[in-house]
Each structure stands twice: as C-alpha cells, then as structure tokens.
Amino acid sequence: MTEFLFFSGKGGVGKTSMACTTAVRHADAGRRTLIVTTDPASNLSDVFEQNIGHHITAIDSVPNLWAMEIDADAATDEYKERALGPIREVFPEAMVAVMDEQMSGPCTVEIAAFDRFTDFLDKPEDANGRFDIVIFDTAPTGHTLRLIELPVEWSRSIDEAAQGSGQTCIGPVAAIQDSKFKYERAIATMRDSSQTRFIFVLHPEATSIKETHRAIAELQKLGIESHQLIVNGIVPPEEAANPLFAGRIAMQSRYLDQIEHELPLPTERMYLLDGEIKGVARLRAVGDVLFNGAAVDVALNGRGSSEVGVDLSWRARLPEVMERILPHGDYTRTIFFAGKGGVGKTVASCVTAVWLARQDYKTLLLTTDPAAHLGDVLGVPVSDDIAPVDTVPNLWAVKIDPKATAKTYVERILNDARERGRAPQAIEVMKEELNSPCTEEMAAFDRFIEYATANDWQAVVFDTAPTGHTLRLLELPLDWSAQLDIKVFSEQSGQAAGASAMDDVAKARFTRIIDMMRDPQQSTFAFVMYPESTPVMEAYRASEELASLEIPTSLVFANLVLPLEACTTPFTRSRRAMQERYLAEIAERFDVPLVEMPLLAHEVSGLEILDELGERLYTTQLLEKMS
C-alpha cells in the first residue's frame, strides 16, 4: 500500500528542503519514491539543481526517486481533454464547442491543478509501476487547506448540480461526473491514518506556531488526524556568544518550550545552517542530522567564504525608492508586496504602510493572503471590515476573507440579476454556478478590484499571498475580461442585451484595474526576498511573468540581511558572505532600487518596532543619502 506524506506549513519555513530531504532518505532506503509539488511557484528544480517540470522526472544520482512540478496551464489542457474526449464521440461538434467554451474560464485552472493532484492520491503509479511513497510539497498553509477542502466541496457541488440544471462553473456534470468518485476516494485516503501523514514544518516563532495550530484544527474538521512536526531554523547553541544570535536563541527557546507543551506530536528538529540546502549531497547530509541525530559539522557548515564587508549601500538608490513609494499628484499610490511565502512581505507591507501614514498620507493596508498575519505584525486586530488602526492616524487595515467575501459577492450578483428582471430559471442556473468552490476566488478578486480602484485613499498597500497565487490574482482581470461573453445563464435567460450591458460594465472595471497596474505613476510592484537562491529565482521568474503582462517591477526588498557589525563568528561571517553573493545577484537581475531589511534579534511585532524599522529603511537612510 502506498504511503502519502504531505509537507505543510507557513511560507518560508523550509517545507521544500525538508520534503526533498525526506524524499532522498526514502529513495536511498530502496523505496520507490515520488515527490510532487502543488505550489504554483515550485522550487523543486532549484533544490535538486535539475529541470523537472510538468512530468514525472527521474532525479539524477538518486535511484528510486522521481519528481513532478504540477503546471496549472498544462493541467488545464489535460483536464479539458479528459472531460471532453468521450463527449466528442457522441455529441455534435457545435455542442462540444459550447462545452469547451464553458470550461475555458479561470475556474477551470484551479480545479484542473487540483484534479491532477488527486490523480496521485487515486493512482500513485507511473508506466513502470506503483510508488511506495508519494510526498506532496505543498503551497503555504492557507492555500494548502484550500486544496485539501476541495474534494469535499467539489463532490458536494457536483451532486447538487446533478439534481438541478446539470451545469457547474467548470462545465456540465455529464463531463465531470467521474471526477466526483475520484474526489471521494481522495477524501478517504487522506483520512486514513495508516496511509497518510501530514508533516508540519515550522520555525520557533509566534506566527508559525499559530498557523500550525490553525492548520491542524482545520484538518481535524475534515477528519484528518495523523500529524507530525519538523521544527526548522533553530540557531545553533554555540552562536550564543554572538549578541544578535543570543537574542534569537533566547526568543527561540521560549517558543520551543511552547511547541513542546502545546503541540505534543512526534517531532524532529533541524538547525539553521550557514548556507543553503541545495543539491543531492547536501540533502543527504541534512538527512543524517534530521533523522539520525548526526552533528552539524563541516559537511554542512563552514563551506562558504568568510570574507565579508562589501559596501552594498549604493544599491538602495533611496531617492528613487521615494519616487516609487510616495503618491504622485492626484493619483492613489498602490503598492503590491509580492514574493515567496515567508520572506517578509507582511513585515515590509506593515512597515511601509505605517511609515506612509506617519507622513500624513491617508493609507489603507490590506492582505489577500489566506494566512492573514497583518494583525500579528501590527499588534492590533485586523478584521474583514475596514477599520482604523489605533494610535496611527491616517492608517486603516482590512483582510480579505475568501469565505466571508464569497457570501456577499453571491448575494450582490443574484440581487443585481433580479433587479434587471432576469427570469426565475436564469436565477436558478446562476445560483448553481455560483455554488461552487471557484466562487471564493472570484469574490476575493472582485473585492481586490473594489479596493484597488477606490478613490478614498492616497496610498493602498497590499500584503499579497505567496508568489504563484498572487500572479493568479493579478492575471484574473485579463482572464475574466476575455471570458465575460461565455455565460450559460445569459443564453438561457433570453435577455442577451441585458447581459451585454452587464458585461460592458464589468469590462470597464477590468480595464481600469489593468491600466492602473501597468502605470508606474499609480502602482508599485515590490518583490521581497531573502538573499538565497530559491527566493531570488522565484521572484525573478515572477517579475518576468509580470513583464509579459506589461506590469513592471519597481522595487526589491532584501530581508533578513545580517548586519556587518553582527558578523563576529565563522558561522555569521559565512552566512553574510553567502548573502552578499546573492545581494549582488539581486542587483544584477533586477535593475531597480534595492532596500535592505536587517535581521533582528527578535520578531517584528508591534507599532514601536515598525516605526523604528520605517525610520531605518526610509527616513534616516534617505536623509543620510541626501545630505
């Protein structure tokens, strides 16, 4: 019987490196192993240092190990062909063409990637036989929970549609009925503790612990009970002589005790290394530490150059930073902070929003990330309704909750249709189409447009979801603009003229948001990364994709940079030397101003620390640079 391991957790905690380490370990033990990533911004190729892509690929130098990176676009084409292939044989070409159009909307992209994921749960095999173990390297927690919930939601949605019009937002029930049975089998497999385990990777930090608690609780609601932990990124005890790391060790010690007390689960611990986890040899060495309790020796630490002290301050170009942060004239300045999960987008967003508000700009701070850590960093509650942030005049904050937003969105769409005199039959069809998991994505997107195009603010700061999901959100205006004419309900209602008028209004909204995102006078896209290969490459690939949409990257933020004055030990000097190499690569890949955010001895939480960082990143350095 195949064993399934899901690696989950907050962005940036090391899920991919721990999943890859575990995969190599099982393969070396002679088990036929497959590792699959469900993260839209996959890093498997970076860790294994070879091309993988949307097909099962043998990993070099590791017999028994294969990998696959699910590509949403390729999965969509495969999904549509599986659904429509049998129908082509029995239905007229014109009818098949209509079904093809109905399955060409953005909803299909989400369900297709999910459908490919469930293939491995349902039939964990390739042409050469069955896999002994399948490892899923998942997207950050909020999106993983969304993925896991989908089998339940789509099974229900298909059932309900079958009792009504027979139509779902991803096509007719007749074309997807077989999927329902596959989803039900996937649910049963994930609930079977003898087959499936969820391994949560976390750092000894407050937000990571909080997110792990939330994820376990949500999985338990779905009947998934088998959980383990890997606590990653623990500072080596011998670094306590360094004042910066002494502070972090003290902080981590408190959280390690909290984890042991609050999460009494099977747990492995992994120390912070002075370099990256890349390549098969290093994965094997990490496996010895993680699974055998081996010492962290020269095989893992002390490999890099210890020469540090490169002057990197010129890269900040802070006057140009101000041009891209401050509002221009009557335009609202919309700043999007994007990047790999866990790189510090929320911190950069909060620091920037608080600083702008302190400069007397009326500022809205919001998040589209399901994890929604704004409140943790601000130190104040953030709800689904826009509310002022106490003690910071000119600052308001809100989080976009997909489920709450979907309810409001559905009510608005149906009420609008009723006011326009749509026939009862058309309303019922609309209800069925809106009663699907896709509606949450559409609703969050709709709210995103509402905030991004409002004229109530001088500055709007977006703390976005991790890279792949953010790109999906930003591409939605273009996707939905192209799909507005493909609506079953408008054909059935007999009121095509009214539908056309509604489409014209919607297209006008999409045009405004697209124009805004492409205008550097109005929008700033800032990528946050820490100076290591994986986040740098992920940000670069995302910036290239944005460029293909005619959306320019304006700023980059390098986070967790070790201050030179803190580099007093071989370990810290080696890490700083590694960081300097990647800071130089960032400057080469992104021809835009670079802002450095320092590693602190403590977590960034609370307005006092945010004010201090804002002064350090913007005001103080800017005054020094201009003096």
**Of the listed 8, 17, 76, 349, which one is catalytic?**
17
**Of the listed 9, 39, 119, 405, which one is catalytic?**
39
* 436 among known catalytic residues: no
Evaluate the CA torsion angle 549, 554, 560, 562 in order and state its sign: positive
473: helix, coil or strand? Answer: helix
* 85 among known catalytic residues: no
Cα separation, 274 vs 307, whole angstroms: 14
334: Cβ contacts below 8 Å, ≥ 6 apart: 452, 459, 460, 462, 516, 517, 522, 523, 524
484: helix, coil or strand? Answer: coil
**Of the listed 15, 80, 180, 182, which one is catalytic?**
15
Q: What are phi and psi of 603, to 5 degrees?
A: -75, 155
List beta partners, residue 398: 366
Q: What are phi and psi of 547, to 5 degrees?
A: -60, -35
**Of the listed 9, 11, 12, 142, which one is catalytic?**
12
**Of the listed 22, 534, 554, 605, which one is catalytic?**
534
* 14 among known catalytic residues: yes
**Of the listed 2, 9, 11, 14, which one is catalytic?**
14
601: helix, coil or strand? Answer: coil
CA neighbor of 164 nearest in space, from 430, 484, 479, 547: 430
* 591 among known catalytic residues: no
* 39 among known catalytic residues: yes
* 340 among known catalytic residues: no
* 305 among known catalytic residues: no
Quick one: how far is CA 284 from the chain centroid? 27
**Of the listed 8, 16, 352, 436, which one is catalytic?**
16
Return the axis-axis angle of helices 424-434 and 402-419, rounded to nearest 10°.
170
Written as one letter, the residue type at 295 is A
Judged on CB neighbours under 10 Å (0-12, 13-18, 19+), 339 is buried
Cα separation, 492 vs 218, whole angstroms: 39
* SS3 per residue for 109-163: HHHHHHHHHHHHHHCCEECCEECCEEEEECCCHHHHHHHHHHHHHHHHHHHHHHH
Task: Give the CA dihedral 611, 615, 617, 618, nearest 10 degrees.
Answer: 120
- Active-site amino acid positions: 12, 14-17, 39, 534
